[in-house]
């Protein structure tokens, strides 16, 4: 037998793709976890169809999961896949444009029949040529019939047999990348502990897939990806939504406050609600409200009652919450609103990522209504930005909007788990003296009022949406309204004292400064790193703090010849920067395809700017 071809790579991206019923998300997740355990750094990106019941076998029903792993730091799930596992022709059609030139395509040859080719709307019998995939390594594997063969002695019905196909594919891929099966075996045994037959058949198919790879060495290439060198500690895989939820749990514990979440399900934010609903053991109260308005309103009520109150949503939900968010601005109650952004406007592209809610977040309310705006940049750092959002809200008595997005929320990466001691203290501004308490009396330094909650003897007072005087009485006095408007804006600006300065990644000055914010961090960083290695004078300034902007923003901008702002919208942050810091010229790289940037397209844009 000929030895398998071994390809040694620093990083590899694999895309698992099939019909939404094929179990590709589970396959991808299991493979990622196994790789993470093996010691690789990884980054993943699930790509769901937006219609749950798209017809089987059609392009609309294709569900994908991309994982990139490697020995160095992995910042993105990879622009293009080196390996595609295609369970049907539609998967080839949907993913052709995401393939690395010369990559490998493993496909279930059994499903490449006339019927499925038609369903995927191929015109000829050669889908690969039609998709311009001529120079690719194509490995036909009869996955369906081998799975059937593998399970023939178990007397299972056809549907159950077909459901195990994904395990065959997983076993095969594990062999290709030298991943031991023990983690996956353990998972299956635990998950289906009550169904021994399911465990047995899945394990059988998994091993048959692995052995198939080994036996077919002549045709299947193998890849070598070494383990990464990283900080010592305890690691786990985490996605952005889970990290966000856990960040709030940490903030509640640090602040000594009870955590309350009022929310209404919406993709891609729902998983934060799911994650917290599961944490009754830590005393969390989750309130699944009748709509987004009730979601934020119950949270505002909980904040009034003294809880650490949050509400979570996605674009259209934030639109509904606008009026109530204004109320929390006026009542000066602590509240964190998470917006896991998705493609808009309206219901737009519900399962795809975008950064186009920035202006809505900054300005989308009646009246002068400033809130603190923060953006997380990776799946795992959602934990820290959620924590910090809560800290700012309760220490400064101000609503905070935390922006993440579909890419961060669903994407996952290995995360060194911190210990609670590593996190900063949180000291809520609870009122102390009833003799001096006035509802709208402000701290001189921070301009925040005090938090006196029902149940505190002697602190009875009234708040609400109408403009108030210092005693909490309704006031239509023009001078008072002007003064309070300025106070509320200035209170948000003074949060800057709690924030780190803007950092420059790369040289402190130079030809081109790449500016990005939120979930595009991994891609902009990778692009800048690659260009630096090519000897170009490019640095990165990535923003996590949008309102207020870091103190030194202007000073950083002034050290570069050109500035380019990259974002997944038509230029919202650059418009904001032009307004706040008008002294600079801002070039733009914008994309609204429901997809993250690719490192390649960023580099092309940057190179062009350097040449101009």
Q: Name residues contacting another protein, limited to 231-260 (CB under 8 A).
A: 231-237, 246, 249-250, 253, 258, 260
Instruction: State how far Cα 259 lies from the chain centre.
Output: 22
- Name the one range near another protein by CB under 8 A: 114-122, 158-166, 227-235, 565-573: 227-235
CB 326 within 8 A of CB 366: yes
Residues 32-51 within binding reach of another protein (CB under 8 A): 33, 36-37, 39
Closest to 357 (Cα-Cα) out of 567, 132, 147 = 567
Considering the complex, what minimum distance in angstroms separates the CB of residue 213 from another protein? 25
- Name the one range near another protein by CB under 8 A: 101-109, 174-182, 198-206, 499-507: 499-507
Token pair in block for residue 275? 């994650």
Residues 416-435 within binding reach of another protein (CB under 8 A): 416-420, 422-424
Regarding beta strands 372-375 and 399-405, do their DSSP bridges make them parallel or antiparallel, or are they unpaired?
parallel
Residues 136-175 within binding reach of another protein (CB under 8 A): none
Question: Considering beta carbons, is residue 285 or 429 the nearer one to another protein?
Answer: 285
- Local structure of residue 453 (DSSP, 8 states): -
Token pair in block for residue 283? 């005393």
Question: Considering beta carbons, is residue 3 or 425 the nearer one to another protein?
Answer: 425
Give the span between the Cα atoms of 328 and 499, in whole angstroms: 22
Binding mask 502-531 for another protein (x = CB under 8 A): -xxxx------------------x--xx--
Considering the complex, what minimum distance in angstroms separates the CB of residue 540 from another protein? 7
The contacts of residue 591 (CB under 8 Å, 6+ apart) are 568, 597, 601
Residues 474-493 within binding reach of another protein (CB under 8 A): 474
Considering the complex, what minimum distance in angstroms separates the CB of residue 391 from another protein? 11
Token pair in block for residue 218? 């002549």
Binder of another protein out of 101, 102, 455, 582 (CB under 8 A): 455
CA within 13 Å, CB half, 397? 26
Give the span between the Cα atoms of 335 and 401, in whole angstroms: 8
Asked if the peptide bond before residue 364 counts as cis, ω within 30 degrees of 0, the response is: no
The contacts of residue 155 (CB under 8 Å, 6+ apart) are none
Question: Considering beta carbons, is residue 138 or 226 the nearer one to another protein?
Answer: 226
**In 82-151, which ranges are continuous DSSP H helix?**
89-95, 114-119, 127-130, 143-150
Considering the complex, what minimum distance in angstroms separates the CB of residue 239 from another protein? 13
Q: What are phi and psi for residue 385, nearest 5 degrees?
A: -75, -30
Residues 56-85 within binding reach of another protein (CB under 8 A): 73
Question: Considering beta carbons, is residue 539 or 572 the nearer one to another protein?
Answer: 539
In angstroms, the Cα distances linking 205 to 163, 189, 346, 525 are 11, 14, 44, 40
Total length of the chain: 612
Considering the complex, what minimum distance in angstroms separates the CB of residue 597 from another protein? 17
Binding mask 530-559 for another protein (x = CB under 8 A): --xx------x-------------------
Question: Considering beta carbons, is residue 267 or 412 the nearer one to another protein?
Answer: 412
Binder of another protein out of 384, 543, 597, 606 (CB under 8 A): 384
Binder of another protein out of 6, 121, 224, 229 (CB under 8 A): 229
- Name the one range near another protein by CB under 8 A: 13-21, 162-170, 481-489, 500-508: 500-508
Q: What number of chain residues touch another protein (CB under 8 A)?
A: 87
Binding mask 278-307 for another protein (x = CB under 8 A): -xxxxx-x-x-xxx-xx--xxxxxxxxxxx
Q: What are phi and psi for residue 444, nearest 5 degrees?
A: -60, -40
Token pair in block for residue 323? 């009026």
Considering the complex, what minimum distance in angstroms separates the CB of residue 90 from another protein? 32
């Amino acid at each position: 037998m000929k030895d398998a071809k071994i390809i040694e790579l620093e990083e590899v991206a694999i895309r698992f793709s099939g019909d939404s019923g094929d179990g590709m998300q589970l396959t991808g997740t299991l493979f990622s976890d196994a790789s993470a355990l093996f010691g690789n750094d990884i980054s993943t990106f699930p790509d769901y169809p937006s219609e749950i019941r798209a017809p089987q076998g059609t392009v609309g029903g294709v569900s994908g999961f991309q994982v990139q792993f490697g020995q160095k730091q992995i910042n993105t799930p990879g622009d293009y896949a080196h390996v595609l596992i295609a369970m049907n022709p539609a998967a080839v059609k949907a993913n052709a444009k995401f393939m690395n030139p010369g990559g490998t395509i493993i496909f279930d040859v059994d499903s490449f029949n006339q019927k499925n080719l038609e369903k995927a709307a191929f015109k000829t019998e050669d889908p690969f040529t039609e998709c311009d995939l001529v120079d690719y390594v194509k490995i036909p594997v009869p996955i369906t019939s081998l799975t059937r063969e593998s399970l023939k002695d178990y007397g299972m019905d056809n549907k159950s047999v077909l459901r195990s196909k994904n395990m065959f594919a997983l076993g095969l891929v594990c062999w290709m990348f030298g991943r031991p099966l023990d983690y996956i075996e353990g998972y299956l045994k635990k998950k289906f502990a009550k169904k021994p037959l399911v465990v047995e058949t899945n394990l059988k198919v998994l091993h048959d897939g692995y052995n198939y790879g080994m036996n077919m060495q002549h045709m299947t290439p193998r890849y070598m990806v070494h383990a990464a060198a990283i900080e010592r500690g305890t690691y786990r895989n985490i996605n952005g939504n889970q990290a966000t939820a856990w960040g709030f749990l940490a903030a509640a514990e640090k602040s000594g406050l009870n955590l309350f979440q009022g929310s209404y399900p919406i993709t891609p934010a729902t998983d934060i609600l799911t994650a917290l609903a599961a944490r009754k053991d830590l005393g969390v109260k989750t309130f699944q409200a009748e709509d987004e308005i009730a979601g934020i309103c119950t949270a505002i009520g909980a904040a009034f009652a003294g809880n650490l109150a949050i509400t979570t949503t996605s674009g259209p939900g934030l639109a509904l919450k606008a009026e109530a968010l204004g109320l929390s601005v006026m009542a000066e109650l602590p509240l964190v609103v998470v917006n896991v952004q998705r493609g808009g406007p309206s219901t737009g592209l519900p399962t795809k990522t975008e950064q186009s809610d920035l202006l809505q977040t900054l300005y989308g309310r009646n009246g002068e209504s400033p809130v603190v705006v923060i953006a997380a940049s990776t799946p795992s750092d959602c934990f820290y930005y959620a924590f910090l959002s809560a800290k700012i809200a309760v220490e400064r008595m101000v609503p905070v909007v935390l922006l993440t997005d579909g890419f961060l929320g669903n994407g996952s990466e290995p995360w060194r788990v911190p210990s609670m001691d590593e996190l900063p203290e949180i000291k809520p501004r609870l009122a102390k003296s009833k003799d001096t308490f006035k509802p709208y009396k402000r701290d001189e330094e921070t301009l925040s009022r005090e938090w006196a909650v029902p149940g505190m003897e002697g602190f009875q007072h009234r708040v609400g949406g109408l403009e108030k005087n210092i005693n909490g009485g309704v006031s239509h006095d023009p001078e008072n309204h002007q003064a309070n408007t300025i106070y509320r804006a200035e209170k948000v600006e003074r949060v800057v004292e709690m924030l780190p300065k803007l950092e420059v990644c790369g040289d402190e000055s130079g030809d081109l400064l790449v500016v990005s914010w939120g979930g595009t961090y991994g891609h902009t960083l990778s692009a800048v790193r690659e260009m630096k290695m090519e000897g170009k004078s490019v640095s990165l300034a990535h923003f996590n703090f949008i309102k207020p902007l870091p103190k030194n923003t202007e000073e950083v901008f002034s050290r570069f010849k050109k500035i380019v702002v990259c974002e997944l919208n038509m230029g919202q942050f650059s418009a904001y920067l032009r307004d706040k810091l008008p002294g600079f010229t801002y070039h733009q790289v914008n994309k609204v395809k429901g997809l993250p940037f690719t490192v390649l397209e960023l580099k092309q844009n940057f190179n062009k700017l350097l040449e101009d």
